[in-house]
Amino acid sequence: MTDKMHGWQERVKTAEDRAQEESRQDGWRLKHHLMPPVGWLNDPNGLSQKDGIYHVYFQYSPFDPEGGEKFWGHYESRDMIHWRYTGAFLAPDTAWDRSGVYSGCALAEDGKLYIYYTGNVKQDGDYDYIHAGREANTILTVTEDGCTPGDKELLMTNEDYGDDMSCHVRDPKVWYENGVYYMVQGARDSRDRGCVLVFSSEDKRSWTRINVLRKEFLKAYMWECPDLFSLGEQRILSFSPQGLEAETFCFQNQYQSGWCILDGDFRETDGYVLEDFHEWDMGFDFYAPQTFADEQGRRILIGWMGMIECDYDNLPTVGRGWQHCLTIPRELVWDKERKTVLQRPVREMELLRAGEEQYRDKAELEWNRSEGLEVMVSMSGAAGDLSLEAGGLQLAYEQKSGVVLLSFADESGRGRKQRRAKIGELRRARIFLDSSAAEFYLNDGETVISTRFYPEKESLPLKITVENGTILVYHLKNIEIDRI
């Protein structure tokens, strides 16, 4: 352990304790989204459930709201409504991860969580840190309680990934299938093409590369945060490509996250086909999602509600010592008829409903941002246009073009301008409004749009108009977060 990291538990706890009192006066703090106690949050990690307890780890920089030393923080819950924050879980405290504890996963097995992650090391010198000067170490730690990690074990280094890869290999995701353990990692190869590496193991520790997944027509130089899973009989590959060129109705963010149907055998070089790429979320703030199967058999996705290297910001919260949040947990459902993945807020969110108002065609009310809202819009008959205005935040659907537009009419977007999605006919919309975050689920979650926003006023006029439809507005209680 370096002198810099000596006593990191005390340093982190001191920063969190100091922020605890200040956060009570912070109107930007969220009511039904997980966020960092202090500092910076990005990728969700180690998503899992063990012995009835959900575990949500996340990349965490507690000392700098604009990023810095990368730790992991940890939340746990039995119902995804009442949460407990247990503190920082991992720190960059070995020679294998001294430049940052990067993203990874958790495998629940034998009453334990096997935590796999990337240890980042940037060597001193004049390097590009892409093809030279960087170590990407695959590390394992095992925890029985989810809160206390065991000793770190070095499993793989750059030499194990192949001579055809750059130094950018990261974000292991591990699962067990038919007597074999498999791992996927995101990669940038030596020719600057994005891909996913596939490994196999018999003992969770000794890994062999068995395949490389590519989609040649998807022009990206890096694929991050891969996740290979099944919804029923349909195999899905999720990943976050970097370097795609923006188009009118897709790839509008700096970086994207999405999924492809994977047909065939992912273990065979010529035995699989990756079909079209679909974005998980069409909003401003979404990246690096991860999924897991819970003990009820649901496939649940959580994403990072943020973006890097973009032309908009979150300075209102940075000025208060923190930045970013995670999305609402979303259950993934395969729709055979539409041949697509639907994203639906987990049903536990309905437990937050505290009051209901019903409207026909038009709703106008005053929304106090100290409480969250859930809005359900159902179209009937000859459905038409829809519009929602919450201060400067605007969502508009035009039936004629089949296009939905998210935009800002004031400075509350902090540089966010507009995002478009072509959805065809709009039948249903489910909307969650939080103090500084909004998520829009259209057509049962066939299209999702997420954004952060920062209105100055505590109370905002909320106006919803729909042609030939009903509007339900639910007032939401806050999720509860305790600290140990």
Percent of the chain with pLDDT over 90: 94
Q: Can you give the pLDDT at residue 25? A: 80
Average pLDDT on 382-391 reads 89
Q: Which CATH number is 355-483's, of 2.60.120.280, 3.20.20.70, 2.60.120.560, 1.10.1040.10?
A: 2.60.120.560
Average pLDDT on 410-426 reads 97
Q: Can you give the pLDDT at residue 22? A: 75
Q: pTM above the 0.95 mark?
A: yes
- Average predicted confidence (pLDDT) for the chain: 96
- Superfamily classification of domain 8-343: Glycosyl hydrolase domain; family 43 (2.115.10.20)
Could you read off the pLDDT of 28-66 as tens digits, one per residue?
999 999 999 999 999 999 999 999 999 999 999 999 999
The yes-or-no verdict on residue 334 having pLDDT over 80 is yes
Domain ranges of the chain: 8-343, 355-483
Q: Can you give the pLDDT at residue 382? A: 63
Could you read off the pLDDT of 64-99 as tens digits, one per residue?
999 999 999 999 999 999 999 999 999 999 999 999
pLDDT bracket for residue 195 (50, 70, 90): very high
Average pLDDT on 110-122 reads 98
pLDDT bracket for residue 2 (50, 70, 90): very low
Could you read off the pLDDT of 444-477 as tens digits, one per residue?
999 999 999 999 999 999 999 998 899 999 999 9
Annotation says 313 is catalytic = no
Catalytic entry in 3, 17, 26, 43: 43
The yes-or-no verdict on residue 346 having pLDDT over 50 is yes
The whole-angstrom separation of Cα 359 and Cα 345 is 23
Could you read off the pLDDT of 129-161 as tens digits, one per residue?
999 999 999 999 999 999 999 999 999 999 999
Of the candidates 213, 203, 215, 190, which has an alpha carbon nearest to the alpha carbon of residue 269?
A: 213
Q: Can you give the pLDDT at residue 7? A: 83
pLDDT bracket for residue 6 (50, 70, 90): low
Average pLDDT on 218-247 reads 97
Q: Can you give the pLDDT at residue 404? A: 98
The yes-or-no verdict on residue 26 having pLDDT over 70 is yes
The yes-or-no verdict on residue 100 having pLDDT over 50 is yes
